[in-house]
Structure 1
Amino acid sequence: MEHLGIADHLHNWTLSIQLDKKEAAHSIYEKLNKHIVEYDTETLAAYFLIESRYHTIVGNLQESRQSLAKAREYEEIFTELQHYKLFFAEGFIYYYEKQYQDAIATLEKAEKYMSPSMEPAEIGEFHLIKAMVYYFLDITSLSAVHAAKAVENFKTLEPLSFLLARTELVLGMNHLDMSDYETAEKHLLTALSTCKKIKNHSLLASANLNLGVLYVTRGLPATAIRYLEDALAGKQKRIELNVLFLLADSYWKTNQAGKAMQAYSEGFQKSLDRDNTKTKWEFAMLHKKYEDRDNFEIVWKEGIEYFRRVNDKYNVRTYSKELAQYYTDKKQYEHATTYYLLALI
């Protein structure tokens, strides 16, 4: 392969990885890998840094780390940009592993090698990944700051509409967490529109789900249903249980008991099939809230105890607060106090 040909392939490979186009990335990987013995040291250094990111997006995290180890063999000839790419690729692995504290620490190492001369796409991607890591660490304000920086870098790059849509989605989720519903709606609808335009079904389903969450949170279940049904139609396994739970709840709230039972039954069974104890309890507690009131108290108490055992503080707080209100309404104040205290953990 000619040097210029290799450079072009490496650029296209990077772009396909950034846009999460796994099939295109795999095709380029196979083409480049056949000629690896022909590459000089500079090309090998660049190749292994990109190869690490390729293995990460397809879920081969062990191979991803091996690629980074190979890249480090050429560290003495690294440019500043390649030092950045090394730490960014490592932070990228931690992000996929959900080791978010390690991801932040490594991304901060990468940041030391960033410069204004870098491509806007690279700068934007850095801020997007950092925004997502902060989001999962519940550091909403910093997530929003980095997401806004990502938007500034992506907004003029038409080929990177996918990354812009992801960033708008993260911004919407941040503003939803901050109860800034109007701004959240604006960002989520922008993400939805872009996803439809670029026909990215995975991201489209996520945008619909988060719009559903927004309208459920605002007490508008009838509006939420339309987006949640579209999210379910997207057939994305990673969000399916969340969608079914919110759909069942919204159907019950809008007096559509038949549809609610169908969504509940499907979600509960899939929780069992996937050995997902957390969502199994969530679906069981939802059912007792609306249908099987005779067993409401015992199932909710057992569910809260399960969430305490696994240190799921969010669900302990959420369900304890609702159960405390239930006991308050029944004037059983001793029980109410117990669960109000749990809601404060």
Structure 2
Amino acid sequence: MERNISNHLTIAAVMNEWAVSIRFDHKESAESIHKELKNHINAFDVETLITYYLLESHHYLTRRDTEHSMLSLENAKEYAIHFNDTHRYFLHLAEGIFFYDKRDYQSALLYFEKAENYIEQLEDPVWIGEFHLRKAMTFYFLDVTNLSVLHAARAAKEFSSSDSLEFLLARTEMLQGANHMDQLNYEPAEAFLLKALATFKKIGNQNYLSSANLNLGVLYTERDLPAAAIPYLNAALQGKQDRIKLKILYLLADCYWKTNQPSKAMEIYKEGFRISIEEDNMIKKWEFAMLHKKHEDRLNFESVWQEGIDYFHHVEDFYNVRVFSKELAHYYTEKKEYELALKYYLLTLK
């Protein structure tokens, strides 16, 4: 039965319930509350309407709907003359999340730093912790590991204040594990990731459970333990999370080749290559093509890898420039072709 939410106090309570559902990734509950609130939008005062549009933007982003998310932000901005500092904080936070989801991490950081100017308005440790978690995640993808570590620790401190925040703490621990991986601290990385995995299993969040399994697969791959990585990568694949499927398939194919299971590797590789073509994902298409040349077509290995690295450089995917250049530089060093080795070692500094 639909609640009567025309009363101001009831509206505020439902709005808070919506914010909690969004924050804890309860998608069905968030969608249900969104529909309920939308039916009463004409009864909202200006302050409530601003809060509604800012939350709605966040809600749409959790559903990967960037178009409607930006529309909600534009709706909120129509009332900018009525904004208080808390509204300004949530506006810039939402703008940062929007660009983060588009993988424009520099723009995301710019808006998160604008939001930080108003963070003193916040008293709820959850909101404070979420801000530091989002900034930590942004620094992680910008390869500024030390600052990612700093903000992740501040987020973990806020989320450790209550057992009810274990989901957000587990998300933070997963990032802390990834940061330790970047610093080659594999034992604490494994401990953080296994702890996060256990929490996601307990609360039954399939989305983050798949991500934790993937990160453990990445950890064991980086430690050159492909046999240990395979069960976690298969578990991540079974989670059927489209947003990370191509990355899982890439790592899984690589691990099957490294453990002398070429038929399984080819099956996984073909699926990943097919999906990357269907989705017109040129970056992943190049990654799969380069993986195939590495394991199955050594005759064309050098030319395809050189061309692939040129493509990554052209589209400013400097992460892949660094990753593939490092391996190609090592290959040329082993062949004693030092001029080419130096060329690709220099690209790892991009």
Correspondence 1:91-170 to 2 at 5 A = 91-115=96-120, 118-170=123-175
Correspondence 1:1-345 to 2 at 5 A = 1-115=6-120, 118-331=123-336, 333=337, 336-345=338-347
Task: Give 1:117 shift.
Answer: 5.8
1:321 & 1:279 partners in 2: Cα distance? Answer: 18
CA-based RMSD of the aligned residues comes to 2.3
Secondary structure of 1:344 counterpart: helix
Deviations 1:307-339 (A, max 9, x none): 3443444434443443444444445x3xx4224
**Paired residues of 2:177 and 2:189 also in contact (CA < 8 A):** yes
Q: Structure 2 unaligned runs (5+)?
A: 1-5
**Paired residues of 2:18 and 2:34 also in contact (CA < 8 A):** yes
Tell me: CA distance 1:77–1:259, structure 2 relative to 1, closer, same or farther (3 Å).
same
Deviations 1:111-165 (A, max 9, x none): 2222386111111111111111111211111111111111111123333332222
Deviations 1:29-53 (A, max 9, x none): 1111111222223322332332232
Task: Give 1:167 shift.
Answer: 1.1
Tell me: CA distance 1:4–1:342, structure 2 relative to 1, closer, same or farther (3 Å).
same
- Give the structure-2-normalised TM-score: 0.89
Tell me: CA distance 1:295–1:109, structure 2 relative to 1, closer, same or farther (3 Å).
closer
Tell me: CA distance 1:26–1:264, structure 2 relative to 1, closer, same or farther (3 Å).
same
2:256 & 2:290 partners in 1: Cα distance? Answer: 16
Task: Give 1:75 shift.
Answer: 4.5
Whichever residue aligns with residue 87 of structure 1, its letter is: H
1:319 & 1:98 partners in 2: Cα distance? Answer: 20
1:141 & 1:202 partners in 2: Cα distance? Answer: 27
Q: Structure 1 unaligned runs (5+)?
A: none
Deviates more, 1:158-167 or 1:24-33: 158-167
Deviates more, 1:209-218 or 1:96-105: 96-105
- Give the structure-1-normalised TM-score: 0.90
Secondary structure of 1:59 counterpart: coil
**Paired residues of 2:216 and 2:229 also in contact (CA < 8 A):** yes
2:138 & 2:173 partners in 1: Cα distance? Answer: 15
Tell me: CA distance 1:126–1:261, structure 2 relative to 1, closer, same or farther (3 Å).
same
